[in-house]
Structure 1
Amino acid sequence: MYESASRLPRIVWLLVTARAFNRLGAFSMSFLTVLVSSEFDAGTATAGLVAAAFGLATIPSRLIGGRLADQIGRRSTIVLGLSGCALTQLGIAASGSLAAVTAWAILLGLAYELYEPPSQAMIADAVPSKLRVRAYSLLNAAMAVGGMGAGLLAAGLGRWDLRWLFVADAVTCAVCAVVVRAVLPADLPAQPPVTACATASAGSPWRDRALLAMLAFGTAYALVHMQVIMSLPLSLEQRGLRPADAGLLFTTAAVTALAAQPLLRLRRVAALSAPAALATGCLLLAAGLVGYAMAPDLPAYALATVVCGLGDLLIMGRVLAVVADLAPNGTTGRYLAVYGISWGIATVAAPALGTQILERAGVETLWAGMAGVCLALAALLAVRRTTGRRTAGLRPTGGSTQVMTGPAPAPAPARAAQSSPTEQ
């Protein structure tokens, strides 16, 4: 019934615990626009621009984090990112002007995503390919569970003083940095990228077509996911329900992410190819979003949220495992960082798109449109799985498809057997 094997390494559990604790304090950014508008008498549009500036800064943050992870080491980059977040959060809390809070928000964005590529790359280093889906899914579940506690802390501290939200977040980042420095293994010397077939593009993420296909998929998926996070409260309000009830739905999603983890060990689920797993996840997401479009009351929203959570379960861990498998030796951090900028793009685009659709076309159109995006992704995966066969004379090496001009080299280690949903 269950996939045989194997316990996840200790380092995975350490990273999962640290991520959950760090996420416990990561509630302040949801209140940045409120702080800007209430403390500095800025309009809603100005507050939105400050939040957008933060979101834009997270895009280079991912790329910097990936490069540093491969150059100075995983643990060092994680500690640097957490320390930078702690410092800049304190700067926001102490800001006395709109210009100051904007500058600190941009600096926070530049530090905010440094954590992600090295933590994901550390899992790829420690976990064999067949267990990576489980490990990454557990990491995402830890973030969801930490987010549940974050909402409760935010509700308490936010009633007192919004600035204390940023102070509390800074404290959790600083404590997490100290713990990570103490318990995670020391960084190993950087590995040079693999070269093969005299290609100039070995180890270059931006020249890897399989990775760029994953980036396109990830951006569309992240746009849908962020739309749920940012537009669900407004959607509830337009339906005559309380916007605060979105917190209950987010808690439902977190519980689903945690409770459904054993499903990933079922033999039938574990045996799914990457395209099949991702397409199934997209279909479940589409069903849940149609539920949002039709939901008349909160229980119906909760049921739709559970269905969406099952779709996320199949997608989030799998897609990170695919990207990690694509990366040549010594470039895992950069590959994961390039894929990760999909979330930065979605963070900037989702609120603008969602508010415009809600204002002009209504709740049904918003969620039906997002369901349509998911159906299109599922169809594309199905088509590419059927027609996207490898061309004779081409060989995938570390995720990059390269022309073979001489005798075939010895087979590479079985690191990228699951190369990409678009190549299977």
Structure 2
Amino acid sequence: MGLSWGRAVPSRWRALPPAVWLLVAARTVNRLGAFTLPFLAVVLVDDFSVPVQTAGAIVALFGVATIPSRLIGGLLSDRIGHRATIVWGLTLTAVFQLLLAAAPGVVTAAAAAVLIGLSFEIYEPPSQALVADVVEGDRERVAAYGLYSAALAVAGVLAGVLAATVGGVDLRLLFVADAVTCLGCATLVLVGLRPRRGGHEPEDRASAPPAVVRSPWLDPILIGLLVTGTGFAVLYLQLEVALPLTLRADGIQPSLVGVLFAVSALVIVLGQPLVVRGPLTRLSHFAALAIGFLVLGVGFVLNGVAADLPGLIAATAVWSLGDLVLLGHASALVAAIAPAASRVRYMSVFGISWGIAATIGPLVGTQLIAHLHVACTWWVLGLLCVPLATAQPVLAAVARRSGRVIARS
């Protein structure tokens, strides 16, 4: 049984269309350089002598700017196509990263940070919609989004190593490196994701005149997923905020958080059979998401209980399993409920959850830690997963009442 599970993921991944593999490869290259944002405040304080409060406000402006960035990506995709939108979004991000790296003063640096935010997420809606367009079958979409998440998790660990190397020379070089990876990602998409004969892009079969067009803002299921997705994003970002502080409180070197993120990446890669062939495949997306939230909550509580690095590693394995289920099924569910012609807009609306979380997430984590012990903070974060889990059967009931049964194929 273990052997068959081990073979299940590669076989499903090998069956994915070349366009999916290209997007995964391109996004992995891009992710290798996406380590600059945690250092933005440091650069503002050290290089431009900006007060910490002002640096925090600029970083918050970046987070706010990422919210319309997703919507811009959806609008552009409808007008110029997925491929062109991806390339333009990445190119603009690279240009603004270089502007920040060469900024002569704080005003230019702040403007560049906001411009990066406005272009930063343009890539995501068309890339996620393209995956849904070229992959047939709901289970295959879960596998495709699982591959996407696994690649990003591994690349994120490697990005941390690269950041430690480059950042040791000059923190501004981090933004140059990020710009280079953005351009590398854009080049892969531009060269590899070629239009079909007759000038049609790979997604054009989903862009044909649709039988149904639905505004994402008027879809109660999507709005419900946006609310719970924002909750997940806020909780997930606490791993970047609260986890290093937890290590310090436990007398562990905070830099060892990289070990925990490496464990998480390993769990996400090795755990893929759970979402493509395991018992979860017999459940609806809503049921799988409910389980994912509960597992995530248990892992967060274990973060608070753990008193040493082995305990935190065990907790990381648990919350990473929840993360694995949530990331794969959430994207596949949004793709399943969206009419083909509205898919990229659905993805862009759902994706603004990360922009909202980037704005309020750091405030949530730091305020909790300021008023509670780190252990109590993780208990609170774990308990917040419960209402997110209980919301899923409510959304499933809404879907059934509206006649939109999300089949698993």
Alignment TM-score > 0.5, same fold: yes
CA contact (8 A) 1:193 1:203 kept: no
Cα distance in structure 2, aligned partners of 1:214 and 1:148: 28
Residue number in structure 1 paired with 2:76: 68
Tell me, in whole angstroms, the C-alpha distance in 1 between the residues paired with 2:342 and 2:153. 28
Deviation at 1:248, TM superposition (A): 1.3
Aligned partner of 1:261 in structure 2 is: 272
TM-score, normalization by structure 1? 0.88
Aligned position for 1:110 = 118
Is 1:272 aligned to residue 288 of structure 2?
A: no
Structure 1 distance, partners of 2:33, 2:131, is 23
**Cross-structure match for 1:183:** 192
In structure 2, distance between residues paired with 1:192 and 1:60: 26
Equivalence for 2:141: 132
2:65 to 43, 46, 57: 57
Query: Which amino acid in 2 is paired with 1:194?
Result: P
The aligned residue for residue 360 of structure 1 is: 371
Map of 1:408 onto structure 2: none
Identity of aligned residues (%): 44
Instruction: Work out whether residues 221 and 398 of structure 2, in 8 Å CA contact, stay in contact via their aligned partners in 1.
Output: no
Relative to structure 1, the CA distance from residue 352 to residue 181 in structure 2 (aligned partners, 3 Å threshold; closer, same or farther) is same
Q: Distance in 2 between matches of 1:381 and 1:165?
A: 40
**1:325-361: CA deviation from partner (whole Å, max 9, x where unpaired):** 1111221111001000001111111101111110111
Aligned match of 2:177: 168
Q: Which residue pairs with 1:246 in the alignment?
A: 257
Give, in whole Å, the separation in 2 of the partners of 1:341 and 1:264: 25
- After superposition, where does 1:305-324 map in structure 2 within 5 Å? 305-324=316-335
Gaps of 5+ in 2: 196-200
2:341 counterpart SS class: coil
* Corresponding residue for residue 155 of structure 2: 146
Please provide the CA RMSD for this pair.
2.0
- 1:3-40: CA deviation from partner (whole Å, max 9, x where unpaired): 79752112111111111111011111111011001001
Equivalent residues of 1:23, 1:150 under 8 A apart: yes
Distance 2:189 2:178 in 1: 16
2:351 to 337, 340, 345: 340
Q: Matched residues in 2 for 1:383 and 1:184: separation?
A: 39
TM-score relative to the length of structure 2: 0.91
Cα gap change, 1:359/1:193 in structure 2, threshold over 3 Å: closer, same or farther? farther
1:97-122 residue CA offsets vs partner (Å, 9 max, x unmatched): 11110000000001100111111011
**Deviation of residue 383 (structure 1)?**
5.3
1:263/1:389 CA distance change after superposition, 3 Å: closer
1:222 equivalent to 2:233? Answer: yes
The answer to whether the 8 Å contact 1:193/1:328 transfers is: no
Given that 2:242 and 2:374 are in contact with CA atoms closer than 8 Å, whether structure 1 keeps it comes out as no
CA distance in 1, matches of 2:278, 2:173: 47
How many aligned residue pairs are there?
393
**1:280 touches 1:378 (CA, 8 Å); kept in 2?**
yes
- By how many angstroms is 1:263 displaced? 2.4
How much has 1:240 moved relative to structure 2? 2.3
CA distance in 1, matches of 2:230, 2:288: 18
